[in-house]
Structure 1
C-alpha cells in the first residue's frame, strides 16, 4: 500500500479519535468551551468533506464492489481493523447515548437570560422554556451529537482509504 493511502487513512482515523475524545469530555461536569467555539465546527466541516470525498473517490477509482472492498479491509493488519472497528462502534454508542439522554429536546439557546430548547415531541413541536440544568443537559447532548457524527464519517473515510490502498496494492501484483 502506498504512503498516501496510509497518510490519508491515518489522518482520518486520528481526527475520528480526536472528535470522540472531545465527545467523551462533554460528560465531565460543566460545559466544554472548546466544543462550543465556532472555529471547531468550521474546521471539522472544512476537513471532513475533502477527506471523505477523496476516500470515496479512491474507492470508486478502483472499480471494486462492496464485497471486494470488505475483503481488502480484512487483509489489513488486525490492529488496524480493531482500531477502526472500535472508532465506528464508539461513535455509534456515543451518538445513541446522547440521543437517548435528552428525549425529544434539542437546539438549546439563551434568549434574554432565559433558557429555551426545541421540543420535537409529535403534536407538541415548538420552543419551550427550561431550567438551566435542563438547558446544560441538552447543550451537552447536542455537542456530543455534533462530534459523534463527523467522528463516524472520519472513521468511514479511514476505512475507505485504507481498503482502497489495499485494493491498489493487490491490483499491482506481487512484490509491491
Structure 2
C-alpha cells in the first residue's frame, strides 16, 4: 500500500493527506514492531543469508513474484525519485510564504521557493516517506516467509 501511495505522488496535484502527520506516525508505530519481530524471527532461526535465500526459493512462485515485484518497484521509485530531486527538501509554509531547506554545500540553509517548487518538493518528500518504509515492510515479509519456510523444513526433517 505504501509503495502504491509513493507512486501516486507522480500524479498531478498533491495527495489529500499531504498536510497531516498521522500517516508517518502510523508508519513508524507499525514499522518498528513488525520489522523487529521479523529480525528476531531471523535470529531465532539461526540461518545465514544463503539458507534464507534457499528457503525463499522454496516458497510458492506467486509469493516470490509478489515480493520481488514489490522490492523492484520500491527500488525504482527511490531511484527515479532521487534522480529527479534537487537539493531542496523539508518544505514548509510560514506566514503564507513557501520555504524549503537547501542542502547544496555552497548555500546550505532555508530559502524561499515558489508555490510550484513547494508542491514538487512536498511530493518528493512524500514519495520517500512512503517508499522507504514500503521497502522495509517488503524486507520484513521476505524475512518472515523465509524463516517460516526454514522452520517448516526443520520440523519436517525432525519428524520420522
Fold shared, TM-score > 0.5 on shorter chain? yes
Select the structure that is richer in helix.
1
- Counterpart of 1:98 in structure 2 is 81
Residue ranges of structure 2 left out of the alignment (5+ in a row): none
| In structure 2, C-alpha distance between the alignment counterparts of 1:73 and 1:31, rounded to whole Å | 37
Runs of 4+ aligned residues of structure 1 deviating over 6 Å after TM superposition are none
Alignment of structure 1 residues 64-103 onto 2, 5 Å: 64-103=47-86
What count of residue pairs does the alignment treat as equivalent? 158
Please, what TM-score do these two structures have when normalized by structure 1? 0.86
| In structure 1, C-alpha distance between the alignment counterparts of 2:46 and 2:19, rounded to whole Å | 41
- Counterpart of 1:63 in structure 2 is 46
Within the alignment, does 1:163 sit opposite 2:132 as a pair?
Answer: no
Residue ranges of structure 1 left out of the alignment (5+ in a row): 1-17
Which of 31, 34, 44 does residue 51 from structure 1 map onto?
A: 34
| In structure 1, C-alpha distance between the alignment counterparts of 2:110 and 2:65, rounded to whole Å | 43
SS at match of 1:29: coil
- Kindly provide the CA deviation profile for residues 84-110 of structure 1, in whole angstroms up to 9, marking residues without a partner as x: 011011111111212222211111111
- Kindly provide the CA deviation profile for residues 63-103 of structure 1, in whole angstroms up to 9, marking residues without a partner as x: 01111011100111111111101101111111121222221
Please, what TM-score do these two structures have when normalized by structure 2? 0.94
Which of 89, 101, 118 does residue 135 from structure 1 map onto?
A: 118
Which of 73, 84, 91 does residue 108 from structure 1 map onto?
A: 91
CA RMSD of aligned residues (A): 1.2
Task: Between the two structures, name the one with larger relative contact order (CA 8 Å, sep ≥ 6).
Answer: 1
